[in-house]
Each structure stands twice: as structure tokens, then as C-alpha cells.
Amino acid sequence: MNRRSVSMIDVAVLAGVSVGTVSNVVNSPQRVSEATRDRVQVAIDKLGWVPSETARQLRAGRSHAVGLIVFDISNPFFTDVALGVEDALYRQGLSVYISNSDQRIEREEMLIRHFEQNRVRGVIMAPITNVNEHALQLRRRGIPVVMVDRSRDEDFCSVGVDDVEGGRLAAEHLLAMGHRRLAFVGGPMTLAQVHDRMTGARLAMDNHPDASLLTLTTPTLAVTPGTACATQIALMPDGTRPTAVFAANDLLAIGLLQGFVAAGLRVPDDIALIGYDDIEFAAAAAVPLSSVSQPRRALGERAAAMLVDEIAVAEEGGPHRHEIVRLAPVLVPRASTMVKS
Ligand code: RIB
């Protein structure tokens, strides 16, 4: 049964509810019990129904909007990626609905569902997990999806940075500065980007059997857990405390810097510190932070270009081969890792 023949009545019949209940599930879900919402959603998914007000928009013409899902809208990394996406799509006459999954799967799923109901032309997303069944479903319904800040999903076009190489660069830099007791601070490890950076740091350690790498896992990639880790590190006795820390992103590094200063530890004299992303605040920190730069706007622009290509192919019915692009990270040394002259 193709999408155009499916109506709200078909959904109501299949779910065994009234048409009004189906309308409430779509427009005012808080008025419907969870069990009924789930039953209606199963019927909607089974029939591939798209709410009529959105179908009207389709008949009247195509949506001019693209959905963008990031997982931490408060992080300047994603602001820069979003600016790259917006600039590239503006040139194509398209606008961007920017949304935040807040690293919560249920929110990511809801956002994908709402973008489908609003029949956006396509979706760009920084996914929280590996296999994204809901993104695959979106594409099966004819809405192209491109992954950004990831470059591994062969089922989608994707663009990201080689985070294993980035982690290796960061650790290699600390080792080159003479450090042998290192720490990696980052998390959650379920984020492939964080795990890859730690893997890269461990690869660098392989060439230095006299060196050690302590790993401190954090719940998120934010300032506060960075400060908490600094407090934990500062309490370690001299002689066992790491002399250098690699933070999985710059916000953690900024939190670590704040914590070390509060604990009376000087950066870099007592402990060196390097972050990742090279957001604007890294260079502007009280002690300018060394970092591993990600080409943030270029990531957004490339993801947008991939999506525009895939939209054209989807709407003209041509073949499409997914592209996986891995951009190079760049080491940016600054005062926070410089050895005293
Ligand atoms: O700072 C946000 C981090 O989350 C970035 O390193 C980006 O790669 C994402 O994984």
C-alpha cells in the first residue's frame, strides 16, 4: 500500500482507536495514554502514514527545510558545524531546523520522527550510537540522511575526522614534550569519537614502554566533569600523579584547567594539558590551550554538500553510492603544553 493511499482512518482502524485519538497522538500526545500512543505509533509505522497537514505541504510543493540533529547544542563545536551546514544550504535555497538530542536516544528518535512528519528534504545528524535504525527508516521513507562527526557508517554518507589519528597526535605531542605519566580524560566511551581518541593515545604509548596512561572516564564531554577530574588528579600524591593530561574535547580541558588552578597546580609547569576540537575558547583560555583541531565548518559544509547530492539523486531517481569522508586532524601546540625553556 503506497503512502498516498494511506489515511488517518486506516491507521485508526488498524490500531483499533478513533480518528480523533490518532489526531491526538500526532498533535497532542500528552492527552493519550502511553499504551495507546504506542499502539497507534505501531500502526503508523506499519502503514507508513504521514500526517495529512504535512502531506498537504508535499502536494503544494517541496519543503525548503533540512533537519540537523546534534547531540550537544551547548558545545561550540556543534555551533561551528551548524554554521557550515547553514552556509552551504543557504546557497541552495534551503533552510535548517537545528535540534539537540542531548545524547538521549529517545530524543533522537522523537526528532527523527518529527522531521519525517514535517517531510523535511533531508536530515544531517551527529548520531549518538552506531547503527541507527530510525535513520535507516527515514531513508526507506525517501528522506536522505547524512552523518556528520562520524565517518564509519557504510549505510550512510558520512563525514568526520580520523579520531584515532587525532588521539595519537595528542599523546605523541605530550610524549615529545618529555612526559611519561599521562592521563586520558573523556567519555562516555559509548561515543565512538571518544573511544577512537583513547585508542589513538594508546597507539602512541606503544612506542614508549617507559610511559603510562591513566584513563578517567566522564559521563559527558562538558566543563563540569573536567573540573571534577582535575580535583581527583590533584589529590594524587606527587610522584604518581600524571604530569600531562589529554582531554577528549576542549570543554573538558577548560574544566580541567579551572580545577588545576583551584587546586594550586600550575599549567604547564606542574601538569601539561591538551584538548580536542580547537574551539575558539581554547586559544582564549587563561592559559592558551593546546588542542587537536577539527575543521568544524568544513565538516558542516561537506555534510550539506553530500546531502544536496543525495536529495537530487533521490528526487531524480538516479543511483547513489554512499561516500565516507575522513578529514585530517591538526595538532595546535600552545602554552598549556610548552616545556619551560
Ligand atoms: O566537543 C564535542 C565533541 O563531540 C567533539 O569532539 C565532536 O567530535 C563530538 O564527538
The answer to whether residue 181 scores a pLDDT higher than 80 is yes
**The pLDDT value given to residue 2:** 47
* CB 277 near ligand 1, within 6 Å: yes
Beta partners for residue 65, in sequence order = 95
Helices (H) and strands (E) in the chain, counts: 13, 12
Band the pLDDT of 1: cuts 50, 70, 90. very low
**For residue 277, how far is its CA from the centre of ligand 1 (angstroms)?**
7
**Cα distances (angstroms) measured from residue 297 to each of 20, 75, 301, 320:** 45, 14, 6, 25
Assess contact for 157 and 317: CB atoms under 8 A.
no
For the chain, what is the mean pLDDT? 92
The answer to whether residue 56 scores a pLDDT higher than 80 is no
Question: Quick count: other Cβ atoms within 10 Å of Cβ 314?
Answer: 16
Give the residue among 254, 253, 250, 326 at the shortest CA–CA distance from 295.
326
Band the pLDDT of 53: cuts 50, 70, 90. low
The answer to whether residue 31 scores a pLDDT higher than 90 is no
Rounded distance between C-alpha atoms, residue 136 and residue 153, angstroms: 11
The answer to whether residue 200 scores a pLDDT higher than 90 is yes
DSSP state of 86: H
* CB 218 near ligand 1, within 6 Å: no
Question: What SS3 state is found at 269?
Answer: coil
Rounded distance between C-alpha atoms, residue 122 and residue 311, angstroms: 7
The answer to whether residue 134 scores a pLDDT higher than 90 is no
* CB 124 near ligand 1, within 6 Å: no
* CB 149 near ligand 1, within 6 Å: yes
Mutation choice for ligand 1 from 162, 249, 289, CB with most ligand atoms inside 8 A: 249
pLDDT digits (tens, 9 = 90+) for 222-256: 999 999 999 999 999 999 999 999 999 999 999 99
**For residue 238, how far is its CA from the centre of ligand 1 (angstroms)?**
32
**For residue 290, how far is its CA from the centre of ligand 1 (angstroms)?**
16
Cα 117–Cα 118–Cα 122 angle in degrees, nearest 5? 100
Taking the CA of residue 250 as reference, the ligand 1 atom at the shortest distance is 1
pLDDT digits (tens, 9 = 90+) for 87-126: 999 999 999 999 999 999 999 999 999 999 898 999 999 9
pTM: 0.82
Rounded distance between C-alpha atoms, residue 54 and residue 69, angstroms: 20
Which range is least confidently modeled, 38-52, 56-70, 115-129, 211-225?
56-70
**For residue 249, how far is its CA from the centre of ligand 1 (angstroms)?**
6
Would you call 11 exposed, middle or buried from its count of C-beta atoms within 10 A (0-12, 13-18, 19+)?
buried
Look at ligand 1, atom 8, and give the residue with the nearest C-alpha.
149
Question: What SS3 state is found at 131?
Answer: coil
273 sits in which H/E element:
strand 272-274
* CB 249 near ligand 1, within 6 Å: yes
